[in-house]
Amino acid sequence: MITLFISREYDYALRILRALADAEQATVKQVCLREHIPQAYAYKILKKLEKASLVKGFRGTNGGYRLAAPLKSVTLFDVYIAVEGDMYIGECLRDGYICPNNKEGRQCTIHRALCQMQNHFMEAMRHRNMAEILEADR
């Protein structure tokens, strides 16, 4: 079995932002053709990106989507939170999880290690913006 750390939905969200990077308005169909994303996924993801104020949707015959914020101000973490909600690399890091391996008020060593790894990864995501990532495409 393959377990993905980065979900397909997150990957598609990054690709949607890349498709809109030219600051032009694009239809969902145009975005999907550029980035090879199924339309069913794209609508769902665009709704989440719009709710997070990362894209702006326009209805009607001239409808479509465009960026709502400059890509310099959109971090990888912003996009992740917009589509996934929360980030936990392990079940024991979820709020309210009661670990049977905690003893006398101390967290187990595995929990501490995972927590440290998660914090490092989240910090790295907060320090990379979409403009930096897409610069390599130019």
CATH of the domain at 36: 1.10.10.10
Residue span of the structural domain in which 119 resides? 8-135
Asked if residue 128 belongs to a domain, the reply is yes
For the chain, what is the domain count? 1
- Asked whether 20 and 55 are in contact (CB, 8 A), the reply is yes
Distance between CA atoms of 114 and 47, rounded to whole angstroms?
Answer: 32
Residue 49 in domain: yes
The identity of residue 63, as a single letter, is: G
pLDDT along the chain (138 residues), means of 10: 74 96 90 94 96 94 91 95 82 72 76 84 93 80
Q: For the whole model, what pTM was predicted?
A: 0.84
Flag whether 57 is in a domain: yes
Residue 1 lies in a domain: no
